[in-house]
Amino acid sequence: MATLKKPVCLGFGFCPEESAHHFLVTIPAGNREDVLISEHFTWDADGTGSRPTFALGEAEGKLRVLLPRAKWDAIADEVRVEINKRLKQDGIKSGSWKTGANPVSRLLGKELVLLAWAIEEADPALIPAAIRNWLGLVPEERWWLYTMTSAATGHAIQGRGKGWRKAVRYALTENPVSGMSHEPLPVFELQRRQAPEALPVPTPAPTERKAVRAPRRAKTKEVQPER
C-alpha cells in the first residue's frame, strides 16, 4: 500500500504545497531593531516570499505589527513552546526562531500577531499576564479576535492603539489571572467591559407598540331650561 508523502513544512508549520498564505516574523541581527511580523499570500518557487510593506491598501506583505526587540524577547520562548506543542499534535516538525525571516503557518501566525498586538503598547510588567491570558484562549477564540481586529485596525502603524487593537490590549493585559489556570476567557463580554467603544453596538429589535385609545368621555344629559 502506497504511503502518502508528507508535505515539506518550513519554519513553524508553513507548508507551501498546501497553502501559500503565511506570516513572516523578521528578526533583525541587531538587538535594538524592531521585530517585524507581516502577512503574505504568495510564496516563490525559489523559497522566498514578498517583502514586508507599510503601504496602505496593499494586502500582500502587509505589516501587521512592529514589536520592540525587548518585548519580542519576552514572548519568544513561550510562543515557540506553544506553537511547537500544537505542531507535534499534528505530526509536523518543530521550529525555532532564527535571525532573518521565519515563516509561520496561516493560523498560528494569526495567534502570534494577536499576542503581539496585546503587548505592543503595554507596560512590560504586564507581559506575563498577557501571555497567560493568551494561553487561556482556545485557538478558535484567538482566530476570531484576530479576524475582527485585522478587519478594523490591522495595519501595523495606522491601527495601533485604536478600536479593536486597544480592546485586545485591555482584554489580555488587564484581566486578572490566578495560579496555573488556563481556562478560556469570556472574550466578547470581557472586551465589552474593558473597552466598549471598540465593539459594535447591537441594534435593538423593534418592539410592537399597541395603539393607545383616547379615554372615553362620560355622556352628559342635556338640561332643558324650565318654562
Residue 221 pLDDT greater than 70, yes or no: no
Q: What is the mean pLDDT of residues 38-61?
A: 78
Residue 182: all three cell numbers together: 488556563
pLDDT at 210: 42
Residue 199 pLDDT greater than 60, yes or no: no
pLDDT at 129: 95
pLDDT at 176: 62
Weakest mean pLDDT among 14-23, 77-86, 167-176: 167-176
Long-range contacts of 176-183, Cβ-Cβ distance < 8 Å, separation of 24 or more:
176/129, 177/129, 177/132, 177/133, 177/136, 181/136, 182/132, 182/135, 182/136, 183/136
| Domain boundaries along the sequence of the chain | 22-198
Task: Record the pTM.
Answer: 0.76
Q: What is the mean pLDDT of residues 117-146?
A: 95
